[in-house]
Amino acid sequence: MTLQRSRSDEWFSRASALIPGGVNSPVRAFRGVGGDPFFVERGSGCRLFDVDGNEYIDYVLSWGPLILGHAHPQVIAAIVEAASLGTSYGAPTPPEVTLAEAVRDFFPSMEMLRFVSSGTEATMSAIRIARGYTGREMILKFEGCYHGHGDSFLVKAGSGVATLGLPNSPGVPSELSKLTLTASFNDLEAVEEIFRIHAGKIAGVIVEPVVGNGGFIPPEADFLPGLRRLTEEDGSLLIFDEVMTGFRVSRGGAQERFGITPDITTLGKVIGGGLPVGAYGGRRVIMEKVAPIGPIYQAGTLSGNPLAMAAGLAQLRILSDENPYPVLEQRTERLVGGLLRIFAERGFPASGGALGSMWGIFFSESPVRSFADAQASNVGRFRKFFHGCLSRGVFFAPSAFEAGFLSTAHRDGDIDETLQRAADAVRDL
């Protein structure tokens, strides 16, 4: 199958003259897999259609938020209705409160919360609160975990930073980097040693409870409980970055699935129904330190945007009413299991897994438990597999270090079609 490229190539040329790399987020640039990106015209259900008329089964889903698929009629109707009343007011609106109540229903640990306009804003705010609440300055993060492009996070980060091979970013002050401690994901002994060396100095530990921005890496059984124990003993805050895992690995995110209650949770993606949004929240005693009732300042002119609130509320209501999680998990496991069987039949060592509707694979001889393991996987083989699938109309994440997703719009027939096309792609490797 040969994809038509002329119109995408034209748009990419125009974009490259104006936008760095021709994209507004680095991971879209295909630098991790080679080649140039296609330009999307529209989405419907689990399918994308590009400007050249090519059709793709989509497992990126805007990097996670589209759990109901593209252009879900109820979500679109909610956006249209909200837009007919106005797009922004700079004043409180009832939908902000209603959506906050819905989020708290899914995430009871968020006793109080605040909306922002992106996951990066949410994580940056969470770190500021941890520092302001504890009076400490150090934070601990994990190699390969990506928490947005805030200065404190661009140390041994994942996502586009990993794809580009940048362990750090120019422009991040060295003095600030010194306040960011790092450890390997799933290495509880290393975390224990860090807390021993820096006892009483760590404001908070921020973690993707299931790594998605270094590829799909689940936690080992003792890891998250260990983080909870260590932070409680030291007086540090435990921050779960559930921007990716929230509403994905289970109804109540990773904290529900693993039975761990963090002090602060950050969310994004799903709660916007495809529109830009984020949220952070946690224990009331912590959140009451946030302005205007507390001294820790955070603000956002477009926070609680009525269009995003309407889209998010429509999506969460559907998730609550229909409870698609058992079927989503079954289909996701069937996809991953099918891919692993295809690789095994061709003699390609591979590992992978799924939780809820979040999944990932690596061309690796052994299970991947850390970002170092992910980096040791066969990235070259992944690139060939990616392009083989893309040329056959299947869109996986254009990086070996990103998780994939399913939506309620993916049916069994779509999974079957995907596996057939993937098998064809593997025969060409």
Scan for tokens 């693993």, then name that residue: 258
* DSSP SS3 for 144: coil
Six-digit token pair at 272? 């916007």
Any idea what DSSP says for residue 219? P
Which of 261, 221, 227 lies closest to 242, judged by CA? 261
Residue in 36, 58, 234, 241 annotated catalytic: 241
Q: For residues 355 and 193, give the distance between their C-alpha atoms in angstroms, rounded to a whole number.
A: 30
Six-digit token pair at 373? 């393991």
Q: Is 133 marked active-site?
A: no
Sheet holding 112-116, edge to edge: 112-116, 278-282, 264-267, 237-241, 202-207, 138-142, 180-183
Structural contact between residues 277 and 305, judged by C-beta atoms closer than 8 angstroms: yes
C-alpha distances (whole Å) from 164 to each of 34, 36, 261, 390 are 11, 15, 34, 21
Q: For residue 208, which amino acid is it?
A: E
Structural contact between residues 220 and 186, judged by C-beta atoms closer than 8 angstroms: yes
Any idea what DSSP says for residue 41? E
Any idea what DSSP says for residue 295? S
Q: Is 56 marked active-site?
A: no
Residue in 56, 59, 133, 146 annotated catalytic: 146
How many H helices and E strands in the chain?
Answer: 15, 14
Residues in Cβ contact with 261 at an 8 Å cutoff, skipping those fewer than 6 apart: 109, 228, 255
C-alpha distances (whole Å) from 422 to each of 212, 396, 414 are 22, 11, 12
Residue in 269, 280, 325, 414 annotated catalytic: 269
Q: Is 241 marked active-site?
A: yes
The neighbour count for residue 428, using CB atoms within 10 Å, is 11
> Which residues are designated catalytic?
146, 241, 269
